[in-house]
Amino acid sequence: MIHSTGKTVSVVLLSLMLLVTALGQNGLFAGGSGDEMPIAIQSRLTAAAARKLAITGGETLFSPRELKKFYSRRGFRPAWIGQEGPLPITDSLLSALRKASRHGLQPEDYHLASIEALLSRSKGFFGRKSLSVEESENLELLLTDAFFLYAADLASGKMRGEKRKAHWYLRERVAPDLTEALEEALESGQMQPVLESLAPISPSYIRLRTALLKYREIDRRGGWSVLPADTAGLKKGNRNKRVVLLRKRLQISRDLSYAEDSEGSEDKDLFDDSLEEAVRSFQQRHGLTVDGIVGSGTLESLNVPAARRVRQIEINLERLRWMPDQLGNQLVVINIPEFRLRVLEDEKELMTSRIVVGKHFQNTPVFDSRITHCILNPYWYVPRSIALDEVLPLIRQYPEYFNWEKMKVLAGSKVIPPWEVNWEKVSASNFKYQLRQDPGLKNPLGRIKFVFPNSFDVYLHDTPDRYLFEWAERSFSHGCIRVEKTTELAVTLLHGKPSREALLSTMESGEMKTIRLPRPVEIQVLYFTAWVDDDGSVQFRRDIYKYDEPLQLAMEKAVHRSGTGKN
């Protein structure tokens, strides 16, 4: 009886082996691991190159140029599919793709669902591959395309081809060779380290990624409750139930630590010193007037949902991926929503200054250039739009306007008497003059102007309207950037030659003088509404030009990509 059972088992095993062989020959396990796979890949990529986009298995291949380059360099041999099906390296790539959210990117943007479905079907009888030749080709190309897409998004940003639409006019970041990156990852057998090396390595990017994890965790736990409207006006000394809600809100965002709050645990409804300090901390982190009082602006910022702060961080991580590599060791950085200028040298801050930027609809542009020289006691050449919209009505109303404002009229390069022009008949269609204001106390450029070539006719300058620097939000200009500490900026950029005393003496004399910098200094005029300071405090600012939401929507619905290589 035992012998008979053994024969039966042997027959069953033999039958199963024959079945497996037959299934393999008939396509169930036919993954195309021989000569047919390279031929099929080459055929597909030739067609893809002709159409620029290729459809495979219901998905779009977005990197046909990079795919063809990569496979041609390896004789069109598959990189992910072996004799027995998908290679272990596919798991390394999948693991990396699933972590894309750590960079504020979406894993599903990288063919993840289709790849996982094909891999699931590849696990057939006895762990052998069960994909058809076409499915194996699809999986192979989707994996490679996913690498190139994710690598390009890390290296240059998801919206790299749409930066102009996002009002971004800085030079391009040098794009890495993604084919070499993939070859390196395949050789090492580790996808994550190679992909991570493509992302920005700046401290700003690393710190903001950490902040993203923190705010995602806050959001995952339910965020914070909306404070009632009558919370506005709360200040130190008040005692009521709204104070308890305010405490909880500031604890969640860690402006008020639980340890500090426990010291006054018996007076949770009292607005005490520790709560006032927490409000001040919150106000400082959000660019508000720091007074410790819950005003309407502070309440509005307190009630921004945690989920929106997460999106704000994701948007600004994308902007950081657009940032070009720094040229030289000295850099002037302006962040428009922060209303602040910094001079950095080897990443250390040499000086900082409050600034005034363009008002909404007269936005200060986002771009980079190099400061070449400064002009002491500059003329102000009135922009045509300002001349027509603002100055012309004053000229018509006040005959002495030119004398009061020390304004000249230029016809070409010649100064002409203002009474030679019939200002009542001047209009946009026949205005052919240039208005120029002499140096002096009324000149809106103040005592000094910093020049850097750009197509926007924007520059840094002094201003006689010093009171504007006391405002928390300072968007008052027509687009140029007014700097509070212009003398200190000049001394820093000129390396003390001439000295501060010599500069001040020339300014007081009224003499117009041009001074070239020892070497041009890079300037970046940026737009960031979220970042992390050196001390670890997460900073948020109001989106004064309304740039964030369009960028967020574009990132969410982006399907078509403008290639993955250099733009």
What residues are labeled active site? 461, 480
Q: Which residues contact 127 (CB under 8 A, 6 or more apart)?
A: none
Q: What is the rounded end-to-end Cα distance, in angstroms, of the chain?
A: 76
- Would you call the peptide bond into 393 cis, given omega within 30 degrees of 0 as the criterion? no
> Which DSSP string do the residues of 385-418 spell out, in sequence order?
HHIIIIIHHHHHH-TTHHHHHTEEEEETTEEE-G
CA-based nearest residue to 342, from 127, 493, 193, 529: 493
Number of H helices, E strands in the chain: 20, 20
Q: H/E element holding 197?
A: helix 191-198
Q: What is the DSSP letter of 420?
A: G
Length of the chain (residues): 567
Contacts 24+ apart (CB under 8 A), 490-495: 490/374, 490/448, 490/450, 490/515, 492/343, 492/350, 492/351, 493/330, 493/332, 493/343, 493/371, 493/374, 493/450, 493/517, 493/521, 494/374, 494/518
Residue 306, amino acid: A
Residue 460, amino acid: L
Q: What Å distances lie between residue 269 and 242, 257, 266, CA to CA? A: 7, 16, 9
- Whether 433 and 414 have beta carbons less than 8 Å apart is answered as no
Separation between Cα atoms, residue 257 and residue 223, nearest integer Å = 16
